[in-house]
Structure 1
Amino acid sequence: MGKQRAPKSVYRIGAGAITAALVAAQYWLSVVDAADGALLTRSLKFFSFFTILTNLLAAAALLAPAIAPRSALGRLLDRPGVRTAIAGYMIMVGVVYYLLLVGLSDRQGASLFIEHALHAVTPPLFVFDWLLFVDRRSLDWRIGVRGLTYPLIYLAWVLARGATSGWYPYPFLDVADLGYARVLVNAAGLVAIYIALEAVLVAIARALPARSTEN
């Protein structure tokens, strides 16, 4: 019999598959199965949501180290600092949705169910992986600042695309409605929350027993 997969790999493959399947299902319902047939436009909008991009990042971070641990991508996404940053992004996905966005969607049925799953199910799946399997011995307080690269690039993309299209994925980033000053204040507030959240994760990491990277 072949060597059995370790619990870490089993968990990551299962959680990663669930996350990827939910994103794929939402893409089908929101884009491919849309009545107007505007596939390119709908696809661009779909992949402009932080929730979708971050869930895809989480799925890759779960699957790549489990399936291809020796690949460059697998090694990168298995770094404790990278996984801690992603854990913070995923927590932000859930927190921002349930504080600011819940109830604003016009989705119904299966699409609405998946929307909630992408904010309430997949973030805990990734955070559980962080708690159970990440070697936290190398974490330090600078992770929050280092982790800002991804959300700041996302913000720049949203503002640049919105300036040309007039469409923004979230109401708190809607320059047409709020103006740049208010949007930048909103963004600064979210940045501050993210940095504070990463500090909490590092504090938790230091309070818990260190985890080994061994499978």
Structure 2
Amino acid sequence: MARLYRAVFACVGWFAVALQYGVTLADNPDSSAGELTLNFFSYFTILSNILVALALTAPVVAPNSRPGRWFAGEGVRAAMAMYIVVVGVVYHFLLAPTWNPQGLALLGNSLLHYVMPAAFVLDWLLFAPKGRLNWGDPAKWLIFPLVYGGWTLIHGALSGWWPYPFVDVGALGLGRVLLNFVGLLVFFLIVGLTVVAIDRTFGRRDRRRVPA
């Protein structure tokens, strides 16, 4: 059941990323494909969805390989659940009111921001081993958002392009953007701690079910 579920949503995830990339190129015919590609892969949404697609794909196609075992690890899957939940929540409350995609853009957007977050969280709830996470784990999971934040500031300073309005240094100033980053990191940490709390609750439940 887990392999079938993951196979289906791995296909959905890769389709969503490919569709959104195609829409990006089609909507900007006068822009450089190289520049568009670099910017496309500078969205946290895209990077997180690629990680989720890999986490769904690797245990299906190569479960005994090193990537397959790594992506199947409970800590890795919990971290990715944290990332993709933040993607969905931040989009819904901060970004969705600011634009109105249509057609294929709407389809890709919905898959990336709603379908895949829900699908991966459900995968984690149903199929990941529980009871093995520690309260300190969410702090380690912040490495990816921290690296992404550093890349965003460097890339934006060099190109003048910013992936999200709340990290636009040109419009908001560096101090405000850094405060926004801190706020997002706190939100990541809250989501991560919630993931650990759910994991430990389910772990205690499962241990009580084990016959003596």
Q: What TM-score does the superposition give when structure 2 sets the normalisation length?
A: 0.92
| Structure number with higher helix proportion | 2
Number of residue pairs aligned between Structure 1 and Structure 2: 205
Aligned partners of 2:130 and 2:11: how far apart in 1?
25
2:123 partner SS: helix
Aligned to 2:68: 74
Q: CA deviation at 1:21?
A: 0.6
Name the amino acid aligned to 2:102. Q
Aligned to 1:179: 173
Aligned partners of 1:138 and 1:126: how far apart in 2?
19
Aligned to 1:130: 124
Q: CA deviation at 1:33?
A: 6.5
Q: Contact 1:49–1:169 (CA<8 Å) still a contact in 2? A: yes
Aligned partners of 1:155 and 1:48: how far apart in 2?
10
| Per-residue CA distance 1:89-138 (angstroms, 9 max, x = gap) | 00000000011101323642111221122111100100000000001121
Name the amino acid aligned to 1:139. L
Aligned partners of 1:45 and 1:13: how far apart in 2?
28
Aligned to 1:204: 198
Question: Which of 24, 39, 51 in structure 1 is aligned with 2:18?
Answer: 24
Q: What TM-score does the superposition give when structure 1 sets the normalisation length?
A: 0.91
Aligned partners of 1:107 and 1:165: how far apart in 2?
25
Name the amino acid aligned to 2:11. A
Task: Calculate the aligned-residue CA RMSD, in Å.
Answer: 1.5
Q: CA deviation at 1:28?
A: 1.1
More moved, 135-144 vs 58-67: 135-144
Aligned partners of 2:97 and 2:107: how far apart in 1?
12
Aligned partners of 1:138 and 1:207: how far apart in 2?
11
Aligned to 2:56: 62
Aligned to 1:3: none
Q: CA deviation at 1:37?
A: 5.4
Q: Which runs of 5+ in 2 are unaligned?
A: 208-212
Aligned to 1:143: 137
Name the amino acid aligned to 1:183. V
Q: Contact 2:169–2:177 (CA<8 Å) still a contact in 1? A: yes
2:30 partner SS: coil
Aligned to 1:98: 92
2:97 partner SS: coil
Aligned to 2:79: 85
Q: CA deviation at 1:31?
A: 1.6
Q: Contact 2:7–2:57 (CA<8 Å) still a contact in 1? A: yes
Name the amino acid aligned to 1:101. L
Question: Which of 102, 106, 111 in structure 2 is aligned with 1:112?
Answer: 106
Aligned to 1:4: none
Q: CA deviation at 1:204?
A: 1.1
Q: Which runs of 5+ in 1 are unaligned?
A: 1-6
Identity of aligned residues (%): 42
Name the amino acid aligned to 1:83. R
Aligned to 2:163: 169
